[in-house]
Structures are given as structure tokens and as C-alpha cells.
Structure 1
Amino acid sequence: MKNINYKKIIRCYALLFTLCIPLLLMQSCTKKSRSDMGKALFTKTQNKVFKNVTPEGFAPVFQKVIQEQKSSLGNPLQIEAFYAQNDYDPKFVMDHLNNDDLKTFSSYLLKANEHGLDPNLFKAQAYNDLLNKFYDKKAIKTTDEAYHDIAELELMTANILINYSNALQYGIISPRRIYARYYTATQRPDSNAVNKVLAVTNFKTYLDSIQPKNPQYLALQKALLSSSTAPGMTQEETDRTIKVNLERLRWKNKPSQDKYVIVNIPDFRLDVMEGGKSTLNMKVCVGEGRNKDYANTLIEYDDSDKTDRPFSRETPQLASMIYEAQVNPIWNIPQSIVSKEIVKHAEDDPYYLANNNIDVFENGKKLEDSETIDWGSEDLSKYEFKQRPGDDNSLGKVKFLFPNKSSVYLHDTPAQEPFKKNMRAVSHGCVRLEKPLDLAHSLFGDGSKYDMIKQFMSEDNPKPTDVALSKKVPVYITYVTCWADENGTLQYRPDVYGLDIVLFAHMQKFLASNSKTVLAMATPAN
């Protein structure tokens, strides 16, 4: 038989005892700290009913209330687990009723309209009414009622604080769930966000910390509160436009890099941002939109407007990285454009393809007699159509590439007339640039690569050339219809794709579905 090392065993028991004692003491201290629950509540409320309240009497009532209201909670599993782990201790009521933190919280909820959010989303009035019962020493008449109201107030505080916090930090609507062509990574609230809220110890400090600090957000808040009216809009439509753009500003999808390219679709403009300032801007043409005549507005909408039905040519919202410039590019014409436009011209004019430098390939081999083909009877899927580089190439002299699911890019164009117009939603989906060479200079800087791009763009016999960007630059294609310019003046743009209408309809649906029940907002991260 092997010798037993008693000394080692004794040391292990000693270590285990050392580790367990603090935990046991902490648990006993927690229970001891709530042993005066009734006295503490009576001191604050002066309602004698609370003198009979005990942690042991409260816990089963709280468990029952949680189970009864579980289906209406935004984060039922996390909330239930949190209180189970803490012996169903009403931490928010016990730690924050005495110092009037809950009154402060209630006042913030009642002023949610300052964010363009209806206070009913957060059950603000119901919460305030319940809280006031605790300050009326005759409102709560029995011990059973006291237990129930403490449980209600505790659960409402936890749930609404999570929902209010998520609304201000992430927005109430997930753009990826409502827009068909939205490819920008957008953070949504998760379990970590919930845990952070449940750990709050100072309400005012926390509530002030989650107020968005973005100057754009503050400018739109000010405009909403001042009831300013945009030119050509009613007061109601102005308010709605500001509200949807406040919601967009709450989405966690904003550029964080020092330098990036941003395209705002409704403004038909591109900016190169460096250090928070625009160092280059230009007009752009974007994809043709469903609302290009601006007939549909936020003044009226119906239930069907919640469904996003993008026009086939609309430019998507996305975030990516520009990695290359293709000088004198070949245009690989998409099948949709071939079938809807190219072959129709070719049927009317057999020399259309040749006159526009368009080559046709079958199985990778160029056809020499494409003008003799009866395109109306052909299966177009077996052909590839490519436009050679040149002055008439639809992509112009240069295009800038970035990975994306929609095969869109920024590019030059021989069609300069649209840049003279205010409504520039005219492309097939890509973004046409007013000053492509200036963008090349901003991206590549002075040096041999920019000089090569400039030279090749001016040549009479152009050849396709790929020029890699040494340091990739982020590009954001976004959709904003109201913002403050550098002078602080609010700018408004018509809703060319009808995306304001879609967003506002979802915000109204959200209000309707949640104003009657406790708000359920913290959706899983996408």
C-alpha cells in the first residue's frame, strides 16, 4: 500500500476552507443586509404596511410575478437567471428607491420624445404611476399588495431600463431586418449589454452616459424640440423625417476609421473624410429608385409600406474596403442589362454592338459575326457581352473596386449630362463619379501609381490595367435624408428610394405592438 500524504491532504482542505469562507460570509452578509427590508421601505415611504415585509416573504411572490410576466419581457431568460442567482433580491427597489434614483429614471422615460421616441414604448406613465404609489403612504394597503407592488416595480425597472438603454444605444429597429438591400454590419444588443444594465449602481450617471453625444444627433434633437419646419414640408412630415434620421444615428454602424469614403444616396454626393472633415466632395449618380418622382412622402403611408420593395436598380447600402483601381476597364455587361436593353438595341440596329465596342463571347470565344444573330430567338444565358475600353465605355476611364454582394463599384462615366441635374438616381446600381481622377489622387496620393493612373486615363489606345491600392480605404454607401451641415443648418433631401417611409412604418408598428405590453427589444445580434 502506498503511503498517504496526510500533509498534502490537510493543505488542500485548508485551501478549500480559505476559498469558501469569503463566499459564505458574502452570502450571509447579503441576506443580513436585507433583513431590515421592511424597516428601510417604511423609512422611505412612511407606509406602515411595509414594516411586515421580509426577504423570505417577498421571494416566492417575486418568482411568481416573473413567471406570470415572462412572455412580455424583452430578455426573460437573462432576467430570470439574474434574480435566481441573487436570491430574488429586489436590488433596484432596495438600492435606489431611497435616493430617488427611480424618480430620476421615471423622468427620463417621460421625456423619451426628446429622442423622437414615444414614451409609451417604455410604459413611462404606468411606471410613474406605480412608483408614485410608494410615495403615498396610504396607497398600498396590505402586506400582500406590498409584496406584489415591490415585485412589479423591480421587474419593470429591470426590463424597462434594459429596453431604454438598448433603444438609445442601438436603436429600436434592426435595419438588416427591414431593408432588402442593406449590407452594412450593424451591432445589435446582446447578453453583455443586458448584464451591463443589470449592474447599474448610479442611475443618473448611467442614463447621462447613454445619451448619444454625436453632434449630428444633438442637432436633430434640437430641431425636433424647436418644432422647426423644413421648406416644402408640413410640420408633421418634418418631425417624421427627423425621427427616422435620429433612429439611423442610433444604429451602431458608423465609420470609426480616420479616413474613409462615404456616399449618401439621397444627397447624390461622395465625400472623402479625414480626421472628421471632408477633404474631397463631388456629385455622384446612383441607381434608379422607386420614388424618383418623389410622389410618395411621409405625410401618408399604409400598412403595406412596412414591406421593402426595392427597384431592381437601386444602389445598396453597404460597407466595404476599396482595394483596387481598374484603369480603362472592360465592362462585363450584366445579363439583366443585356436582356432588357442591349439586345433590344441590337435587334433595331444590327451594327449597334460594333458601333459601341461591344464584343460577344460564346464559351469564352469571341463571335466575329454577332450582327447576323437574331437575338430575339436566342438563349442569351450562353453569351457574354463585354464592352472594350475607350471613350464610350459605360464605366469611363477608371473604376474603383471593393468586395460586395451586389457587384457595384464607383466608376467614371462618359455620360456627363446627369451631373447637371438635381435628381441623379439614374444608374443601373453602381455609383458614377463626377471627378474620378480626384478620387484616385485622394486614395493613392502623389507617386508613381497615381501618375500611372493619370497617364493611362489620357491615352488614345487604352489597355485595361489593374492598380492595387497599397492601403485599403473603407467605403460606406449610406442613406440619410436629414443632417446638419458644417454651418449647423439642417439639410433635407427627398426620399428617393422610399426608405424613410419603410423605416417610419416599422417604427409605428413597433409602437403599436409594444405600447400595450412591456417592451421586448433586445433582439439577438445579427
Structure 2
Amino acid sequence: MIAPLTIKRSSFQILIALFAFATLTFQSCAKKSRSDMGKVLFEKTKNKVFKDVTPEGLAEVFKKVLADERSKMDNPNLITAYYEQNNYDPAFVMDHIFNGDVDLTANYFEKAGEHGLDPKMFKAGQIKALTNKFKDKKAIKNLDEAYHDIAELEILTANSLINYSNALQYGILSPRKIYQRYYTETKRPDSAGMSKIFTIPNMHAYLDSIQPKDPQYLILQKALIAGGSAQGMTKEETTRYLVVNMERLRWKNKPTQSEYVIVNIPDYRLDVMDNGKSILNMKVVVGEGRNTDNTTTLVDYDESDKIDRPFTRETPQLNSMIHSVQVNPVWNIPQSIASKEIMVEAAKDKYYLDNKNIDVYEHGKKVEDPETIDWASASADKYEFKQRPGDDNSLGKIKFLFNNKSSVYLHDTPAKSAFTQSMRALSHGCVRLGDPQALAKVVFGEGATYDKIAEDMGKDNPDPTTIALPKKMPVYITYVTCWADDNGVLQYRKDVYGLDVILYQHLQRFLATNDQLAAL
């Protein structure tokens, strides 16, 4: 009888042996799969030079070409690491040239203009020229040239395919890097995703799969291809509108929830979306922008426009979760507003603070007689200002709270006349709502809680009340200047913050940088 310990030990030894055998078999198969590299290439090209090609000989040259081409690659570490780990196996050359995949890929690159991108950044011409050398049995003259061209075509194809895939799936640029007041979660390409291009089983299916499918994108893409011009704009300006907004659509920053609140700054509009349809919309007032008079446009821009210089009152782009509301809120007046506006008015009129229901605090203690203070010479750092609830409160009867770094929120306002204006970039940064009670009804739903909110909002002598939402509601504050409405008609809005100009400049600089690298 064999002891249990012996059985376990024997089984473990057998497993180790089997694993080692399987590993060696796999490795030998992997090596064997390319051991006839020269023979395969000769059969495909009919060029005798390839008879002497070996994986070992290629690896030596491949290393040198990788080093030489490093400065031209956008992801040199990833590409180098992949080939080092895979014995410099030229998968694109061996598996995708002679079935037409590489030419097909280059054809897609050549049509990158349909996405508002410059085909030159994907090196389609260079790829096709090298591919043609393999198809011409007399083009490659010697073994050194063969090794060099295999390595160069392999690296060029890998680099361009990664760039093309990233561009279509994530956009060319990271909005976080070009905008100072951008806080929306936006996914960018990672090494795991980029590495997938090395093992694509069906190139045609893959290239079709990464074409953006968003209906908005497809409509803008169709308009770009058609090459028309919008009313009141030149063809060039119209094209630039389409290009920058297609780039925005490629950014992975879109809502994933079925229900959410979304504010589009240039449209001065809020929508509550439910399963792709707007169930509530209203006018809003957003933060004052640097380009409210539209003097800086996509028609005329200069080198300095690529630098984002946000106006201090601009509403930021962000996403968060509305977690509660304050009915009849107290307004904790920001120090910047207090020093530039409240104290200035108080210096002119000693009864201003009392008339506006504004309390003054010094070291956390309420000042009983603020009209006795000389506000013309007082230090803003010394005081805090709070406006009590009431009809004149700048936040109106309700504000919707969500966590964010800019201390902005959605709120009511007593200044209703602003909603009659066409240009509504007028606030200090928060978003004023045209119909805040309707938004409360949607986020809370009908019932006792909403009824209480409606009742409290109607009181003449209200007390502040904070009420948590039964279910947090996602909120997105975005910036889109061109989109298709429900009828498929393209809508254009003025670039009130000048963010289109900045984005277009960065796109142009990116393409120019790629052209310079290609010329090296």
C-alpha cells in the first residue's frame, strides 16, 4: 500500500514533468513555426534573396532598426517590449502582407480624412511602398536589405495601426492635457488594449469594428465627406466645426448610465436623458466666457490660441453625481465675489448688505452692525459673507449639489430676465436653471418628498433644508458646438469659451509634429 504522502509527491512530480514537456513543446513549435521563414518568403515573393533569411539573422537587424526608429514611434516602449518578448517575430510581414491585409490597412489609413484626420500621420504611402517591394521579385537586392525591409515594414505597420486604432477609439488628444478646467473622467488608451493589434485574426473585421458607431458621429462624418458649408459660415470654418466635434465624440467620456442630467454650455441648455431620449429640457445660464462676443473664431486663429486661458467665471466641464438639494439655501458667498462685488456695493451704500439679506462674519462670529465698517478700506480676508434664504437670494429657492473641485452647482435664480437673452454666458460659474422645480420633480419623482420641496419653495419666510436624493443622479457638464438634432439637422453654436479654437490648434500642432517626424 502506498502512503498518501507518496501519492501526492508522485502526482506533483508528474505534473511538473508534464508542464515542462508542454512548455518545451510549445516553445519548439513556436520556433519551428518560423524556422522556415526564408522558404516561405521565397515561395511568396519568388525572390531568391529570401532563401537565406533566418529568424536569428532577422533578430539581429531587427534590434538595430528598433533602436534607429525609436524616435519616430509614438509608443516605443510598448512596441520594443512586444518584439523583445516575442523573439522579434515579424507577424505582420509573415501573416498579413501576402493575403492583402497590409494593403487593406493602408487603404483605411488613406481614408483617415473622412474622420477629420490627416492620412499622412498613419504613413500609408510608406507602408504601401515597402509592401510593393515584397511583391516585386527584383526589388530587394540582398540579404541585408531584406532584413532591414522586413523590420522596417513590421515596425511601421505596428506603430501606424496602434495610432489609427487609438485615434478612432479614444481621439487624438487627451482633453485633460489641453484644457485647464476639464474634470470629466475620460479613458485613454492603455498598453493592454494597444497590444491587441499584434494578434488580430481578421484585419478587415477589426478595422470595421473600430469605426465609431455613434449616430451623431456618423452624421457629422457624412457632412464632412460631403464638404458643404453651413449658413453664414465658409466651407473651411464649417469643416473645422465638424473636425473638432468629431474629435470630442471620439473621447471616451460619454455617459454610461441610462438616466442622467446633461448641460451643454454653448447651447445654454439642460436635458434629463432617459434611455437615449430627453424627458425634460430647459434653458440655463452658464459662467461668463472669454469669447462671448465671438471675436475669436475657427476662421482666424494664431499660434497663441493653443494655450488655454480660461476666464475665471467659466463653467468647468465635469461629471459627478447629484446627491442632494438645498431648499431655500443659504449662499456662502465666495471670497472673489465678496471682494470684487459685495464689498464694493457695501462701500457705496451702507444699507446694501441689510437690503440684500447678507450677514457678515468675523472669525466665525456674526457681526451685528456691518454698516459701521468702512468697506472701502476693509480686508476681504477678514470677513465671510452669507446671504439668507429669500426671494432675493442669488441661488433662488433651490440648489442641486454634487461633488466637484470647482464648487459649482445647479441652482435657481431670481434673475429670470437672463433666460430671455440668446447669449446666456452670464453667471459666476454655476449653472442657473430655467425651471428648477421641474428638475426637482424628475430627480425625486412624484410623492411626499417632492410635495414638501414644492411647498417649501413657495414659502415667504423659508428655512434652509437639505434633502438627500433617494437615488443619486449622474450629471455631465459638456461643451459641444456642433451636433445633429432629433431630425438629423446639424446645429451649430458659437464658441463662447474659445475651446474649439484651442482644440483645433492642438490638432494642427499634433499633425505638424507627426509630419516632422516622418521627414526625419
Which bin holds the TM-score, normalised by the shorter protein?
Answer: over 0.9
Give the whole-Å Cα distance in 2 for the aligned partners of 1:259 and 1:6. 62
Confirm whether residue 227 of structure 1 aligns to residue 227 of structure 2.
Answer: yes
Task: Please report how far the alpha carbon of residue 75 of structure 1 lies from its aligned counterpart in structure 2 after TM superposition.
Answer: 2.2
Q: Which moved more, 1:48-57 or 1:338-347?
A: 48-57
Change (3 A) 1:354 1:17: same
For residue 187 of structure 2, give the secondary structure of its aligned residue in structure 1. coil
State the partner residue of 2:27.
Answer: 27
Mapped contact 2:91–2:198 kept (Cα < 8 A): no
The residue correspondences of 1:334-413 to structure 2 (distance < 5 A) are 334-413=334-413
Confirm whether residue 217 of structure 1 aligns to residue 217 of structure 2.
Answer: yes
- Please give the per-residue CA displacement for 1:61-81, whole angstroms capped at 9, x wherever unaligned: 111111222233222222222
Structure 2 residue identity aligned to 1:464: P
Give the whole-Å Cα distance in 2 for the aligned partners of 1:354 and 1:361. 14
For residue 291 of structure 2, give the secondary structure of its aligned residue in structure 1. coil
State the partner residue of 1:294.
Answer: 294
For residue 415 of structure 2, give the secondary structure of its aligned residue in structure 1. coil
Identity %: 64
Mapped contact 2:325–2:400 kept (Cα < 8 A): yes
Structure 2 residue identity aligned to 1:316: P
Task: Please report how far the alpha carbon of residue 350 of structure 1 lies from its aligned counterpart in structure 2 after TM superposition.
Answer: 1.2
Structure 2 residue identity aligned to 1:293: D
Structure 1 residue identity aligned to 2:368: E
Change (3 A) 1:393 1:30: same
Q: Which moved more, 1:295-304 or 1:479-488?
A: 295-304
For residue 256 of structure 2, give the secondary structure of its aligned residue in structure 1. coil
Structure 1 residue identity aligned to 2:298: L
Give the whole-Å Cα distance in 1 for the aligned partners of 2:518 and 2:154. 13
Give the whole-Å Cα distance in 2 for the aligned partners of 1:54 and 1:468. 70
- Please give the per-residue CA displacement for 1:388-420, whole angstroms capped at 9, x wherever unaligned: 111111111111000011110000111111111
Give the whole-Å Cα distance in 2 for the aligned partners of 1:418 and 1:434. 9
Task: Please report how far the alpha carbon of residue 322 of structure 1 lies from its aligned counterpart in structure 2 after TM superposition.
Answer: 0.3
For residue 506 of structure 1, give the secondary structure of its aligned residue in structure 2. helix
For residue 467 of structure 2, give the secondary structure of its aligned residue in structure 1. strand
Give the whole-Å Cα distance in 2 for the aligned partners of 1:273 and 1:144. 61
Give the whole-Å Cα distance in 2 for the aligned partners of 1:410 and 1:416. 15
Task: Please report how far the alpha carbon of residue 56 of structure 1 lies from its aligned counterpart in structure 2 after TM superposition.
Answer: 2.2
Structure 1 residue identity aligned to 2:470: S
State the partner residue of 1:137.
Answer: 137
Give the whole-Å Cα distance in 2 for the aligned partners of 1:8 and 1:459. 80
Task: Please report how far the alpha carbon of residue 198 of structure 1 lies from its aligned counterpart in structure 2 after TM superposition.
Answer: 2.1
Task: Please report how far the alpha carbon of residue 16 of structure 1 lies from its aligned counterpart in structure 2 after TM superposition.
Answer: 1.9
Unaligned runs of 5+ in 2: none
Structure 1 residue identity aligned to 2:228: S
Change (3 A) 1:335 1:7: closer
- Please give the per-residue CA displacement for 1:489-515, whole angstroms capped at 9, x wherever unaligned: 111101000000111111111111112
Task: Please report how far the alpha carbon of residue 40 of structure 1 lies from its aligned counterpart in structure 2 after TM superposition.
Answer: 2.0
Change (3 A) 1:410 1:8: closer
For residue 459 of structure 1, give the secondary structure of its aligned residue in structure 2. coil
State the partner residue of 1:202.
Answer: 202
Confirm whether residue 470 of structure 1 aligns to residue 441 of structure 2.
Answer: no
Mapped contact 2:178–2:503 kept (Cα < 8 A): yes
- Please give the per-residue CA displacement for 1:112-143, whole angstroms capped at 9, x wherever unaligned: 11111101111222222222222222221212
Q: Aligned residue pairs: how many?
A: 516
Structure 2 residue identity aligned to 1:366: K
Structure 1 residue identity aligned to 2:300: E
For residue 517 of structure 1, give the secondary structure of its aligned residue in structure 2. helix
Mapped contact 1:172–1:247 kept (Cα < 8 A): yes
Give the whole-Å Cα distance in 2 for the aligned partners of 1:147 and 1:330. 74
- Please give the per-residue CA displacement for 1:126-165, whole angstroms capped at 9, x wherever unaligned: 2222222222222212121111101101111111111111
State the partner residue of 1:318.
Answer: 318
The residue correspondences of 1:162-311 to structure 2 (distance < 5 A) are 162-311=162-311
- Please give the per-residue CA displacement for 1:142-196, whole angstroms capped at 9, x wherever unaligned: 1211111011011111111111111111111110111010011111111111222
Confirm whether residue 420 of structure 1 aligns to residue 420 of structure 2.
Answer: yes
For residue 389 of structure 1, give the secondary structure of its aligned residue in structure 2. coil
User: What is the aligned-residue RMSD (CA, Å)?
Assistant: 1.6
Structure 2 residue identity aligned to 1:215: P
Structure 2 residue identity aligned to 1:98: F
Structure 2 residue identity aligned to 1:283: K
Structure 2 residue identity aligned to 1:473: M
Task: Please report how far the alpha carbon of residue 10 of structure 1 lies from its aligned counterpart in structure 2 after TM superposition.
Answer: 5.3
Give the whole-Å Cα distance in 1 for the aligned partners of 2:432 and 2:424. 10
Give the whole-Å Cα distance in 2 for the aligned partners of 1:390 and 1:413. 11
Give the whole-Å Cα distance in 1 for the aligned partners of 2:195 and 2:504. 30
For residue 324 of structure 1, give the secondary structure of its aligned residue in structure 2. strand
The residue correspondences of 1:467-506 to structure 2 (distance < 5 A) are 467-506=467-506
Task: Please report how far the alpha carbon of residue 8 of structure 1 lies from its aligned counterpart in structure 2 after TM superposition.
Answer: 6.5
Structure 2 residue identity aligned to 1:267: D
- Please give the per-residue CA displacement for 1:189-235, whole angstroms capped at 9, x wherever unaligned: 11111222222222111111111111111111001001121111111
State the partner residue of 2:47.
Answer: 47
For residue 35 of structure 2, give the secondary structure of its aligned residue in structure 1. coil
Q: Which moved more, 1:405-414 or 1:362-371?
A: 362-371
State the partner residue of 1:524.
Answer: none
Higher relative contact order (CA 8 A, sep 6+): 1
Structure 2 residue identity aligned to 1:311: F
- Please give the per-residue CA displacement for 1:412-442, whole angstroms capped at 9, x wherever unaligned: 1111111111100000000000000100001
State the partner residue of 1:151.
Answer: 151
- Please give the per-residue CA displacement for 1:46-98, whole angstroms capped at 9, x wherever unaligned: 33322222222211111111122223322222222221222111111101112
Task: Please report how far the alpha carbon of residue 239 of structure 1 lies from its aligned counterpart in structure 2 after TM superposition.
Answer: 0.6
Unaligned runs of 5+ in 1: 520-526
Task: Please report how far the alpha carbon of residue 15 of structure 1 lies from its aligned counterpart in structure 2 after TM superposition.
Answer: 2.2
